[in-house]
């Protein structure tokens, strides 16, 4: 997969997710086989840049390039300025968010709310592309709602504006994350433009990845929520697409090492208090798959120190390992 001058190691991208794709999670996805990772969306309002949250979202210390920074907003001039600012801070690719369906984002006429105003979309794309010399990409949904799946027209506007690639989540804004993603619109978008197209939505297994590629002809696949629960999914999909065979799932010991390393990185990145709090979210996703007892889950969520939280993770997996060996 190639975007502008950048060639990625495979077709797989980790989707930008607010509150999730921080530096430790991006590092996790890279190690587990994602060819491209994208930052959490960063607001275009310059008044927000000094906040702790924004500074953390802009922290790419030690990360290899190309660094893909996603910006969000609804004002063309402000988004153009935000693009310039982030390039000055080290961004190699700027991604514009027109896919987020969250109410707090859409209420500000940003995210997927923009899809209902094609004129404004064109103004934003023209201004942002003109503002920087690096590639600018776009993340969208198939349209505002089921009566207006205008993804093809948006993609054509994007290509005309000089957008270097487009990622499409196979749901409308009003669908949120409900129901099944449809990739017929993604296929139509791929046929309507010559720039790279990346499909997103319900790609949760190697088999699903192949089905979407074959059905749409897209250049890449973007994985979001499924990677929160199984970050090694990138390696599984990459292996399957290259060889046609299924990669063995991580052993309990390997899974424990992956998760333990990730939460240690969260402690280092956020500090003791915030690191423990944010690790709870990631651990909760992991244990959704394994459904541990109520008592253990309570202890895990109630742990106030990184040392106790870490010990509980280790003890849980060691207990499973002993049961499996018995």
- The residues carrying an active-site annotation are 100
Distance of CA 56 to the CA centre of its chain: 16
3 state DSSP class of 96? strand
Closest by Cα among 193, 135, 125, 96 to 4: 135
Alpha-carbon distance of 152 to 166, in angstroms, equals 11
Distance set, CA 46 to CA 50, 78, 86, 221, 300 (Å): 8, 8, 11, 32, 38
Take residue 131 and report the two structure tokens written for it: 């503002």
As a whole number of angstroms, the distance between CA 142 and CA 154 comes to 9
Question: Is 260 in contact with 231 (CB distance < 8 Å)?
Answer: no
β-pairing, 6-7 vs 2-3, is antiparallel
DSSP structure string for 6-55? EE-SSSEEEPP-TTT-SHHHHHHHHHTT-SEEBPPPEES-GGGTTSHHHH
Phi, psi angles (nearest 5°) of residue 169? -85, 130
| Structure-token pair, residue 255 | 């899974």
Helical packing angle, 306-325 and 252-270, nearest 10°: 180
| CA 275 from centre of chain | 20
Contact 168, 186 (CB under 8 A): yes
Among left, alpha and beta (phi > 0; psi -120 to 50; other), residue 19 is: left
């Amino acid at each position: 997969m190639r975007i502008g001058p950048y060639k990625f190691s495979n077709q797989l991208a980790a989707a930008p997710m607010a509150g999730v794709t921080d530096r430790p999670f991006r590092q996790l996805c890279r190690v587990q086989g994602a060819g491209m990772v994208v930052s959490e969306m960063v607001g275009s309002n310059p008044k927000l840049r000094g906040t702790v949250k924004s500074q953390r979202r802009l922290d790419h210390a030690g990360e290899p390039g190309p660094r893909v920074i996603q910006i969000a907003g609804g004002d063309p001039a402000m988004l153009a300025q935000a693009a310039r600012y982030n390039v000055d801070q080290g961004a190699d690719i700027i991604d514009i968010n027109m896919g987020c369906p969250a109410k707090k984002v859409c209420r500000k006429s940003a995210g997927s709310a923009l899809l209902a105003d094609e004129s404004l979309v064109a103004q934003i794309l023209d201004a942002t592309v003109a503002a920087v010399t690096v590639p600018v990409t776009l993340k969208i949904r198939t349209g505002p709602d089921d009566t207006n799946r205008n993804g093809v027209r948006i993609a054509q506007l994007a290509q005309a504006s000089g957008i270097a690639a487009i990622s499409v989540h196979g749901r409308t804004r009003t669908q949120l994350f409900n129901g099944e993603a449809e990739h017929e619109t993604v296929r139509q978008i791929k046929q309507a433009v010559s720039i790279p197209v990346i499909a997103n939505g319900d790609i949760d297994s190697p088999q699903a990845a192949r089905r979407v590629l074959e059905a749409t002809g897209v250049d890449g696949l973007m994985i979001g929520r499924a990677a929160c629960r199984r970050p090694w999914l990138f390696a599984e999909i990459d292996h399957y697409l290259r060889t046609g065979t299924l990669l063995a799932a991580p052993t309990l010991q390997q899974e424990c090492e992956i998760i333990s390393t990730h939460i240690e990185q969260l402690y280092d990145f956020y500090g003791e208090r915030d690191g423990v709090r944010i690790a709870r979210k990631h651990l909760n996703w992991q244990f959704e798959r394994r459904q541990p007892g109520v008592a253990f889950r309570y202890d895990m969520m109630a742990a106030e120190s990184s040392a106790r939280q870490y010990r509980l993770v280790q003890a849980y997996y060691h207990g499973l390992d002993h049961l499996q060996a018995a």
